Amino acid sequence: MTAFVVARGAFMVAARIGGFDPLSADAWSRWDSQHYVDIATSGYELFDCATIHFPRAGWCGNAGWFPAYPLLIGVLTKLGASATFAGALLAALFAIAWLVLLWNAFLDARLTRENVLTLLLAAFWPGAIYQHAVFPISMVTLTTLATMALALRGRAASAGIAGAIGAFSYSTAFLIAPVAAAATLLDTREPMRARLIRAAKIAGPIVLGFVAVLATHQVTVGAWDAFFKVQAKYGHGLHSPLSTLGHAISAGGTVPAVQAIFVAALVLLVLVLPRRERGAPREPWIAWVRILVATYWIFPLVMGNEVSLYRADTLLVSAVLLTRRLPFLVQVALVVIAIPLACAMASLFFEGAIV
Percent of the chain at pLDDT > 90 equals 75
Tell me how crowded residue 259 is: count the other CB atoms within 10 A of its CB.
Answer: 25
Per the model's pLDDT, the better-predicted residue between 281 and 340 turns out to be 340
**Angle formed at CA 25 by CA 20 and CA 30, multiple of 5 degrees:** 75
Using the predicted structure, report yes or no on whether residue 160 has a pLDDT greater than 90: yes
Question: Each residue of 79-129: pLDDT tens digit?
Answer: 999 999 999 999 999 999 999 999 999 998 888 999 999 999 999 999 999
Which pLDDT value is given to residue 282? 62
Residue 53's Cβ-count burial label (10 Å; 0-12, 13-18, 19+) is exposed
Which pLDDT value is given to residue 185? 92
Using the predicted structure, report yes or no on whether residue 11 has a pLDDT greater than 70: yes
Using the predicted structure, report yes or no on whether residue 274 has a pLDDT greater than 60: no
Which pLDDT value is given to residue 189? 84
Using the predicted structure, report yes or no on whether residue 278 has a pLDDT greater than 70: no
Using the predicted structure, report yes or no on whether residue 285 has a pLDDT greater than 90: no
In this prediction, residue 206 has a pLDDT band, given cuts at 50, 70 and 90, of: very high
> Is 0.75 surpassed by the pTM of this model?
yes
Which pLDDT value is given to residue 280? 46
Taking the C-alpha atoms of residue 326 and residue 55, their distance in angstroms, rounded to an integer, is 48
Percent of the chain at pLDDT > 70 equals 97
Question: Chain-wide mean pLDDT for the chain?
Answer: 91
Using the predicted structure, report yes or no on whether residue 45 has a pLDDT greater than 60: yes
Per the model's pLDDT, the better-predicted residue between 6 and 326 turns out to be 6
In this prediction, residue 279 has a pLDDT band, given cuts at 50, 70 and 90, of: very low
Using the predicted structure, report yes or no on whether residue 325 has a pLDDT greater than 90: no
